[in-house]
Chain A
Amino acid sequence: MAEVVLSGVTKRFKTVAAVESLDLTVHDGEFIVLLGPTGAGKTTTLRLVGGLERPDEGSITIGGHDVTHAAPAARDVAFVFQQYSLYPHLSAYDNLAFPLRSPARRVPEDEIRKRVGEIAEMLRISAKLQNRATQLSGGEMQRVAIGRALVRRPSIYLMDEPLSSLDAKLRSDLRLELKRIQQDLGATILYVTHDQTEAMTMAVRIGVIESGRMIQLGTPREIYTAPASVYVATRLGQPAINLLPVGLLPDGGAPTGGKTVGARTENLRIAKAANGSANATVDWIEHLGDQNHLHVTVGDHKLVTLADPESDLAKGDRVSLSLVDPLYFDASGKRIAASGKARIPQGNG
């Protein structure tokens, strides 16, 4: 395991800058998750670290060695690709053994058998080891692809949405498993996902990328509670953060320059109200099984928040909404600190 440093890395494809002056240090043993919308440059970032793309500017070091121009094989990284790319002419077992048989490593066959067996056990694909790669289901392929990275002990694991085609149960199992591997082995991992649960639960730090630029890098808690901008704030939270003009709902008093209020479920207080104090109407309630999404209209604006399962709110009810310690953003979308007196301790949520 090793520290990986990208400094000022830029990668252009013709005119498009897929990655632009990106600075990122992945500390030894750290688990960094990159979040960002499609086309933001997440995959390109991983490919740059893996040596599959050469940066136009900037440098990359792994464990102190400058690898900016090194071949992929010389970098000692493991990569789980977004499209699981198993070798179709090999069995699942041979796919898992493939990296260990490389000229760079040449692990003895009985050692390979042991390592592949362990990984297959962990990923629950032991029964499928003799199948051709093309005779596996999508989820099995993806597990073999993850396994092909995990059989190695590289300086860094690069994972591009590795859990995306698995069912919810397996995904949460593997999430824990990956987190455990990272903690037990002190593995360094750079991980791309769209799934905020994965980001929040696994990351030591989260990096939010937009159009090839690193917008904010911080612990999951920092990113969640102190997003640098509207853009970052909209990346996290389920249901997504509600953005409203300042003054629409009563709050503790907006700071000067605040134009937009960001309100997540925990920032909204909702109560059934008599016509006089009511400022909003319940549109409908969406039952998602584990949670209920409450759609509310305030003036021209629509909000989504979580409803208490026991609440007796129903469609058409008039309610009074107020804000507790929300986020404020200025006209350009940057977050500005709330004025002091509005700080109300987070309590019963």
Chain B
Amino acid sequence: MSKTTAHSVVAPTPTARRVSGAIVILYALITMIPLAWIVMTSFKTPPDSIAYPPKVLFEPSLEGYCNLFTTRSRQTPEYLESLPAPEPGCDAIVRSRNMVIAGPSNVIPRFTNSIIIAFGSTFLAVFLGTITAYAFSRFKVPFADDILFFILSTRFMPPIAVAIPIFLMYRAIGLSDTHLGMILLYTAVNVSLAVWLLKGFIDEIPREYEEAAMIDGYSRLHAFVKVVLPQAATGIAATAIFCLIFAWNEYAFAVLLTSGTAQTMPPFIPFIIGEGGQDWPAVAAATTLFLIPIFVFTILLRKHLLRGITFGAVRK
């Protein structure tokens, strides 16, 4: 190695790379502390979870998860003694608190509702958004600018501003507390975002590709599927994540419009606090579970997302 090493102007030097890497890692660690705390709390016992000073080192316990997945009832010592010995696992943990498992909790149906509603509305919003954006991008739509502005204007006010009318409407037509109702609602909120994001991405795909495909013997629909969709994958993935995050986290409408059959996780989690004292480990366990699907979805689409959030600036 000679002492003077040539390096290109644009590529960062090794030192710059290390420093910026360190900054990014430090920032990531700081922002992840609350998440780590939630996950840790979910493995604490209730006394540990409210200990002061807070415990960083503790003996892990599954009590939070047991409490999350079950409903329990307190029993008299005489009754407890009359029972056979508890099976190891949740049974034993619950028994040590002088309680017995009364049955499963609602967490699994609520979680399933969240999955159905969030993914269902994301799919619909992205599907509708893609074909709408394509139409605006490729065809002469009369009053295209005005319609696009109208679509965007549905996002000018916070969605919750229309909560009361929607509540009344839904009650009148029987969509309250239904999966369909929630899917339609979240789709309606997300589709404007999807149209605008995707139009940007599709505008950037030169028409020549479709023209070439149509000359090559494909119909427009076929050319759309074979040529446009693969190139819009980045944008579709980024849009899907934005839509999913909204639908997954949405709280206000869910509180107002769901109470049972279609209740999602966000309004369900606060309920856990009420059941039998302030059961923070159970809340933390629910939150941890709640994080997993978004986490997995984002990881799966990570490759696309990284390019997508630059909004097509670095496409090649």
Contact = CB atoms under 8 A, between A and B. Distances in A.
B91 interface: no
Interface stretch (B186-194, B214-222, B251-259): B214-222
Contact of B208 (A83, A99, A102): A83
A77 interface: yes
A72 B211 contact: yes
B227 A73 contact: no
B215 A73 contact: yes
A78 B211 CA distance: 11
Contact of A102 (B209, B217, B231): B217
B34 interface: no
Where chain B touches its partner, the secondary structure class is helix
Contacts of A318: none
Contacts of B36: none
B222 A103 contact: yes
B227 A52 contact: no
B216 A99 contact: yes
A88 B230 CA distance: 9
Contacts of B213: 87, 98
Nearest to A82: B208
Nearest to A79: B215
A148 B208 contact: no
Contact of A52 (B214, B217, B218): B214
A78 B219 contact: no
Contact of B212 (A51, A85, A134): A85
Contact of B215 (A50, A87, A103, A134): A50
A199 B235 CA distance: 44
Contacts of B219: 71, 73, 103
B230 A77 contact: no
Which one of A78, A89, A148 has the greatest number of beta carbons of chain B within 10 Å?
A89
B316 interface: yes
A89 B206 contact: no
A72 B227 contact: no
A52 B316 CA distance: 26
A259 B227 CA distance: 57
Given A83-B208, A103-B222, A89 B215 contact: no
A313 to B, nearest CB: 50
A87 B213 CA distance: 9
Contacts of A78: 215-216
A85 B208 contact: yes
A85 B218 contact: no
B273 to A, nearest CB: 49
Contacts of B316: 88, 134
Contacts of B217: 73, 76, 99, 102-105
Contacts, number: 63
A89 B209 CA distance: 11
A61 to B, nearest CB: 18
A81 interface: yes
Nearest to A89: B230
B123 to A, nearest CB: 22
B211 A87 contact: no
Contacts of A134: 316
Which one of A102, A103, A134 has the greatest number of beta carbons of chain B within 10 Å?
A102
Interface string A287-312: 00000000000000000000000000
Which one of B214, B219, B230 has the greatest number of beta carbons of chain A within 10 Å?
B214
Given A52-B211, A83-B208, A89 B216 contact: no
Nearest to A77: B215
Contacts of A104: 217-218
A81 B218 contact: no
Contacts of A105: 217
Given A71-B219, A83-B208, A88 B214 contact: no
B232 to A, nearest CB: 10
Given A87-B227, A103-B222, A134-B316, A98 B208 contact: no
Nearest to B216: A99
A117 B212 CA distance: 21
Given A87-B227, A88-B231, A103 B218 contact: yes
B214 A81 contact: no
Contacts of B211: 50, 52, 72, 79, 81, 85
Interface string A83-119: 1010111000000001100111100000000000000
B209 A72 contact: no
A103 to B, nearest CB: 6
Contact of B218 (A50, A76, A77, A102): A102
A134 B218 CA distance: 22
A85 B214 contact: no
Nearest to B206: A85
Interface in B176-219: 206, 208-209, 211-219
Given A52-B214, A85-B208, 12 more contacts: A51-B214, A71-B220, A72-B211, A73-B215, A78-B215, A78-B216, A81-B211, A83-B208, A87-B209, A98-B216, A103-B219, A104-B217
10 contacts: A52-B215, A73-B214, A78-B216, A79-B212, A79-B215, A85-B208, A85-B212, A102-B216, A103-B218, A105-B217
Interface of A: 50-52, 71-73, 76-79, 81, 83, 85, 87-89, 98-99, 102-105, 134, 148
* 7 A-B pairs with least C-beta separation: A102-B217, A104-B217, A85-B208, A99-B216, A72-B214, A89-B230, A79-B215
